[in-house]
Structure 1
């Protein structure tokens, strides 16, 4: 396959480094969803772990490698889930973790970052502002800057999900992957295209945060001035060029979905799968709802990637989507 920055041998080795608590997450066919979606749907449940998202896989690689070098401190920008994961992984290895986040991030995510023992700094702005501040801290303090999706560990950690998917029997036709910065999309996409090349890889992003999708279609970095989506975990404005290069090699398509479809997906996952999820985790279901003919009669896997959700907002969403 075309060469991305990722390496299958390193991804296999990563499985031995990542705490087993994050690996081999449930994967099951959810028949209760199928009458509503018109296709066979399997769920890869990346929320059944202490940080309630897939980010623990990548954070384990980052923290283990940093501990091996003797370095004791790191800083990252986070929409919420990476910071929580790095806090968890760093705490177990005696690392000092600083997380920079927008003060407008969901309170539940900020509270969980603090609970994991990380130092939290809030900025008046969005995730891109947090990225700039994290980089400044790293330069000033001389500590490791962890950049989600750019740092290969975050991608190859997420890629271990792909190894678990391709070992599945029976196989599936399509995998739907939430697209934000691109760590999960490039990681899982790399493995799927290397080991199950006949499987379609489709990335899904909100219409209100379309930068990476527009970049994929135009084959160049396209930034946006703002975002407007409830899916805060994927609301980036400035794609990273190296990550886009990888995504162009492994994704078969990138699609945008409306907010009402994301809310409908959240409701379906609650009513028919018993899952409380954050909006980013419902993007795959939203994609099926918006284009049912495309997926009719196929076996689809969707990665439920996070469940750190503000419950007040959640009750508003599910209360208006019946």
Structure 2
């Protein structure tokens, strides 16, 4: 399309620089997923990279290509966490100072890791609630202080560095005597899939490249459908590593040319994948890192009998988020429900509810009630965990007889956020 697109040769040049710097992460055959989807599925484990994400590749290669004059005053970047860790590691290794901007909503685990990898070479500034706000502030600061800004995705060298993942995938497939029918990769700003697809479309032209975005931040899909880079007015920041409102102009061009399809995955489904990866395969994936595996469910008919590679792009998951992840998974599966129910203010009302309204396998997970004086009834916030999602029909039918005016809290996101 244009001369500024990254080529296979650009990626191979980056590979020669990075081969002694980054881990060549394993591409593991996954027996569980292969059996589940009747396919031959491999996981490219970038969660096992030095900084626990692929971002080190692009950051190191981009910084390594700068001149001494460009690094004299230091470099800067903006990141939701993983790019920041890649820049921090690189700057410590190369002896360069870095100023790193991160959103105030960045998980503490990622902030701590940036400090650790920077080891004295990094100053962190928490600005804005989203990546885009932090990114804007970082650009202004960089100009004012004459710092070289290291783009997180919209840069040829960054894209080429990320593309080295595809070189390793290709090498491992050849070693296994395999060819890949499809490669799934997450999309945030688009650097990963731009680099991977640039190499694959030349070196493995028979392989389809499938991008995956979260339902709350489908910026690349919206842009491709519009035919131009389009900024989202509102995003869900749960998949923080890919919660980008505006994709890059350069990555947009790469995706226009090289990406065969983009899948949108709900955040609740991603949560189920994170739990599945952890409990069945002992893989700790961050939300964005699990996107590629989550997409298999929507592609299950197309991948039967095929060889598929999913890039697990990162494993920087804050353990403190696991309760939220479990909750969102149960809500998505229709297993957990919250209601506001009016209870008669008389002895035995709760016993009646438990005996007559709840099913034999239903479990109360939350119950909040304060008895009011001079009232015949009072509201109760109650959480119910079902054994099977289809049990909800019977529960709602019995619940309506108990209180025809009950409120299903799950259906109102603001009410849920306030009460639960």
TM (norm. structure 2) is 0.73
Alignment of 1:5-154 (within 5 A): 5-18=5-18, 20-66=20-66, 68-69=68-69, 71-72=71-72, 73-117=74-118, 118-154=122-158
Task: State which drifts further: 109-118 or 99-108.
Answer: 109-118
Which protein shows a greater Rg?
2
Deviation at 1:200, TM superposition (A): 0.5
Name the SS for the 2:308 alignment partner. strand
| Worse overlay, 166-175 or 248-257 | 166-175
Match of 2:286 among 273, 278, 295: 278
Query: Highest relative contact order (Cα 8 Å, sep 6+), 1 or 2?
Result: 1
Q: Are residues 37 and 319 of structure 1, via their aligned partners in 2, closer, same or farther at CA, if it must alter by over 3 Å?
A: farther
Secondary structure at 2:297 match in 1:
helix
Tell me by how many angstroms 1:238 deviates. 1.2
* Cα shift readout 1:123-169 (whole Å, capped 9, x = no counterpart): 13211011111100111011101111112111100111111122213
| Aligned partners of 1:175 and 1:200 also within 8 Å | yes
- Name the TM-score, length of structure 1 as normaliser: 0.94
Structure 1 CA distance for aligned equivalents of residues 114 and 237 of structure 2: 22
* SS of match in other structure, 2:302: helix
Is contact 1:17–1:60 with CA below 8 Å preserved after alignment? no
For structure 1, which segment, 3-12 or 218-227, has the greater mean C-alpha deviation from structure 2 after superposition?
A: 3-12
User: Shift of the alpha carbon at 1:9?
Assistant: 2.1
> Deviation of residue 273 (structure 1)?
2.0
Query: Distance in 1 between the 2:159 and 2:136 partners?
Result: 21
For 1:301, what is the secondary structure of its paired residue?
strand
Q: Which whole-Å CA distance do the structure 1 matches of 2:155 and 2:296 have between them? A: 31
- Aligned-partner SS, 2:50: coil
Q: What are the superposed Cα offsets for residues 142-199 of structure 1, whole Å, 9 maximum, x if unpaired?
A: 1101111112111100111111122213111100000010110000001000111110
Moved more, 18-27 or 261-270: 18-27
Q: Distance in 2 between matches of 1:119 and 1:199?
A: 42
Q: Tell me: CA distance 1:180–1:245, structure 2 relative to 1, closer, same or farther (3 Å).
A: same
Partner-residue secondary structure (3-state), 2:60:
helix
- Unaligned 5+ segments in structure 2 are 331-420
Are 2:169 and 1:165 aligned? yes
In 2, the alpha carbon distance for the partners of 1:114 and 1:24 equals 24
Alignment partner of 1:296 is 2:321: no
3-state SS in 2 of match to 1:11: helix
1:204 is aligned to 2:190:
no
Task: Supply the distance in 2 between the matched residues of 1:112 and 1:27 (Cα, whole angstroms).
Answer: 25
Cα deviations across residues 32-87 of structure 1 (Å, max 9, x unaligned)?
22233332210001122321000111121122223655623111100100011100
In the alignment, the residues of structure 1 paired with residue 36 and residue 318 of structure 2 have an alpha-carbon distance, to the nearest angstrom, of 26
Distance 1:40 1:267 in 2: 21
Paired residue for 1:156? 160
Aligned residues, how many?
A: 322
Unaligned runs of 5+ in 1: none
Greater shift, 187-196 or 235-244, is seen at: 235-244
